[in-house]
Amino acid sequence: MKQIKENTSLLFVCLGNICRSPAAEGIMRHIVERRGLEDRIKIDSAGVSGWHEGELPDRRMRSHGADHGYDFSSRSRQFSRDDFKRFDHIVVMDDDNYSDITAMARNEDERSRVVMMTDFLRNHTGHTSVPDPYYGGDRGFELVIELLEDACEGLLEQVIKDLDIR
Ligand code: 4NP
């Protein structure tokens, strides 16, 4: 008989952990709580870099998030090799994140946990990355939220299948 997992865990990763991945964490938490699944799905985020260790998300990201009804308030931390043991799925935002994180994997099991956020897009299917908004303007932050909302829905649908939730 196929073994159904009770719980799962998702770690969102970007470069600084102050724009894209804390937004992904906040949006995913929001839709997971809306479905009452917070006890079964652990959610966190981290950065490839530790440049902003301990900081709240970028003020612009928080403000755009609040405009859409989200609260982005996690503290930045750097990804560590231990995260491969602590999370089932490590969801990265762009190709640089993918190569940096997979380069830290010690074996195929760890490498296979790393996936691209854009693989879960259902509407914005032309996008192959969630672009870094840090050096751009408002439109970049809005695009991040649009892409993350789309991909979070797709990712949650996949997780719900894996956990055999009806
Ligand atoms: P994030 O954006 O990777 O989406 O958090 C960035 C934040 C900070 C920097 C680069 C990207 N930085 O160069 O400090």
129-151 pLDDT per residue, tens: 999 999 999 999 999 999 999 99
At residue 57, does pLDDT exceed 70? yes
Mean pLDDT of the chain: 97
Q: Which fold has domain 8-163?
A: Rossmann fold (3.40.50)
Residue 151 is predicted with a pLDDT of 98
Q: Give me the pLDDT at residue 129, please.
A: 98
How far, in Å, CA of 8 to CA of 26, rounded?
17
| Cβ–Cβ under 8 Å, residues 67 and 76 | no
* Ligand 1 pocket: which of 14, 18, 130, 135 to mutate (most atoms within 8 A of CB): 18
pLDDT digits (tens, 9 = 90+) for 64-111: 999 999 999 999 999 999 999 999 999 999 999 999 999 999 999 999
Q: Where are the domains of the chain?
A: 8-163
**Amino acid 3: pLDDT:** 67
- Interstrand relation of 41-47 and 89-92 (parallel, antiparallel or unpaired): unpaired
**CB of 22 sitting under 6 A from ligand 1:** no
Measuring CA to CA, which residue among 5, 141, 125, 124 is closest to residue 63? 141
Element (H, E) at 149: helix 138-162
The residues with which 13 forms a beta bridge, in sequence order, are 46, 92
Give the distance between the most distant pair of CA atoms in the chain: 52
Q: Give the three-class secondary structure for 114.
A: strand
The structure tokens listed for 48 are 């490839």
Q: Is 76 in the pocket of ligand 1 (CB under 6 A)?
A: no
pLDDT class of 5 with cuts at 50, 70, 90: confident
Q: What is the pLDDT of residue 121?
A: 98
């991945």: which residue's tokens?
Answer: 21
Examine the pLDDT at 4 and tell me if it is beyond 90: no
pLDDT at position 136 is 95
Beta bridge mates, 92: 13, 116
- Whether 20 is catalytic is yes
Contact 22, 31 (CB under 8 A): no
Residue minimizing CA distance to atom 13 of ligand 1:
16
pLDDT at 53 over 70: yes
